[in-house]
Structure 1
Amino acid sequence: MKNRSTSLREEIEEMIAVGQLQPGHHLDETELATQFGVSRTPIREALIQLASMGIIDMRPRRGAQVATVSPQQLVEMFEVMAEFEAMCGRMAARRMSKSEMSDLEAAHLACKAASNTDDTDDYFYQNEVFHKLIYQGSHNEFLSTQAMNLHRRLRPYRRLQLRVRDRVKMSFHEHDQVVAAILAGDGEQAAQLLRGHIIIQGERFADLIASMNKLKAAH
């Protein structure tokens, strides 16, 4: 069972992921405690957890604020994420059990249903399940943990990326190829496809930055 600080961390993390708390936003412990109806202690513990994940910055005498990521940092983080995903996919194609493959196919169908309704938020959550199953399917706990940590760090940006026109449909098509490669046991193909699925460059990066700027302007 989750303790209060962990559930608070997840709620605040979700607010950051959906853009309710923007990069650079100051996080006031007293305001958050009032908002969630708790004392400042679990709020402080939740903020420390978020700081350890790199999602917020905590500085002496300046308090906590949502971490700001530069375009260059964002590119670098997506580059590393792409390699993590490639490694997970390569191992998952060799190591996934039949039941794990069935779970992956079920998650893929859930992504399809969300894609067909054009519900980007629903697709975002189903997409998270899909990728987490690939991490776990690598049967390399260290790699899976590192991939999940960076995945969480990039949540706000992965979510924004899905709001770019036609990105959900393209993402599902890419998933389709990844699933086929994993089910066929083709680790190299799965790795190559997942690397391409995650990496952002050229037009996709420009679209992501434009989406970020548009969200900032709306706030």
Structure 2
Amino acid sequence: MADNTLATHAKAPRSAASHEAAQDESSALAFLRSESLTTVLQEKIERMILGGELKAGERINELALAQAFGVSRSPIREACRKLEQAGMVEIIKNRGMFVCSIDVQRAMDIYEIRGALAGLAGKLIVQRASDDDIAALRLMVQGMKDTVRSGGVAEYYRQNIAFHSALVRCTGNQRLVDMFLGTDKELHLYRHRSLVQPSGIAISNQEHDDIVEAIAARDAARAGRAFKRHVLNGKARALAAATAADAEQGGGSSAI
């Protein structure tokens, strides 16, 4: 009997430890599920912003989103906090959550950062892009040439974003990719499709061609300059388009 009692007491600590381990594992799984759900919702809301369903300056109705996605409001709020960190959502105390509205000065600041990243990216791409990468980039440029000829401004806008994404991924530097594409998402809130002028897309794509040919020549300095110049020229085009749009809407009147 004494031996059985000792055996029972000896097993008790192990049983408690097993229970604690199971609780830890359950908590870890719950955390992973929560993080996964937040990430999925973040991506869905981001697509709504980039697709124009949620417009710059618009208030985000977390209850409506929660009902649409079949979740509680808590993960919606957490997803929006992550989008706030990405510069796409603004959370105002006692007012709610809003899609960021980018003014001209902030957009110009972002373009300057983007230009510096582009200069570095151009040099790295020369060092790391394969011949297949370069062939794929040339095909994308050719596709945009066809779009320019047909006058498809909206389609060019989509192709332009895809080209920049493919181009910067050739750096092989994921942190640089994330930073560069982050500026793309922020600028989308300012650089709306309506601001892409038909007269500018042919010039823009010629600059794409210059970048790719510099990369194909394996000229790092030239590629860095070409990519940076393209971004800064884009800044000038966006500013000119915004100025023209303001003039059309009210001659620059502050009343609008």
Q: TM-score, normalised by structure 1?
A: 0.82
- Distance across 2 between alignment mates of 1:122 and 1:6: 28
**Are 1:155 and 2:192 an aligned pair?**
no
How far 1:192 moved relative to its partner? Answer: 1.5
Q: Which runs of 5+ in 1 are unaligned?
A: none
- In structure 2, the partner of 1:123 is 156
- In structure 1, the partner of 2:222 is 189
Q: Which amino acid aligns with 2:189?
A: P
- In structure 2, the partner of 1:167 is 200
Q: Mean alpha-carbon deviation: is it higher for 155-164 or for 58-67?
A: 155-164
Contact 1:84 1:147 in 2 (8 A): yes
Q: CA RMSD in A?
A: 2.8
- Distance across 1 between alignment mates of 2:132 and 2:198: 34
Question: Relative contact order (C-alpha < 8 Å, sep 6+): which is higher?
Answer: 1
Q: Mean alpha-carbon deviation: is it higher for 109-118 or for 176-185?
A: 109-118
- Distance across 2 between alignment mates of 1:177 and 1:17: 28
- In structure 1, the partner of 2:213 is 180
Q: Of residues 112, 117, 124 in structure 2, which corresponds to 1:91?
A: 124
Contact 2:101 2:190 in 1 (8 A): no
Query: Which digits, 9 at most, give the CA deviation of each residue in 1:78-128, with x for residues without a partner?
Result: 111111112111210222111221222222233233333322232222222
- Percent identity, aligned pairs only? 28
- Distance across 1 between alignment mates of 2:89 and 2:175: 23
* Aligned CA distance change for structure 1 residues 99 and 148 (closer, same or farther; 3 Å): same
**Are 1:71 and 2:104 an aligned pair?**
yes
How far 1:161 moved relative to its partner? Answer: 7.0
**Are 1:59 and 2:63 an aligned pair?**
no
Q: Mean alpha-carbon deviation: is it higher for 111-120 or for 122-131?
A: 111-120
Q: Mean alpha-carbon deviation: is it higher for 114-123 or for 64-73?
A: 114-123
Q: Which runs of 5+ in 2 are unaligned?
A: 1-35, 250-256
Q: Mean alpha-carbon deviation: is it higher for 165-174 or for 197-206?
A: 197-206
Q: Mean alpha-carbon deviation: is it higher for 12-21 or for 140-149?
A: 12-21
- In structure 1, the partner of 2:167 is 134
Q: Of residues 87, 99, 114 in structure 2, which corresponds to 1:81?
A: 114
Corresponding pairs, count:
214
Q: Of residues 179, 194, 205 in structure 2, which corresponds to 1:146?
A: 179
Contact 1:17 1:159 in 2 (8 A): no
- Distance across 1 between alignment mates of 2:191 and 2:223: 20
**Are 1:24 and 2:53 an aligned pair?**
no
- In structure 1, the partner of 2:23 is none
Contact 1:120 1:162 in 2 (8 A): no
* Aligned CA distance change for structure 1 residues 141 and 185 (closer, same or farther; 3 Å): same
Q: TM-score, normalised by structure 2?
A: 0.71
Q: Mean alpha-carbon deviation: is it higher for 98-107 or for 48-57?
A: 98-107
- Distance across 2 between alignment mates of 1:81 and 1:168: 19
**Are 1:208 and 2:208 an aligned pair?**
no
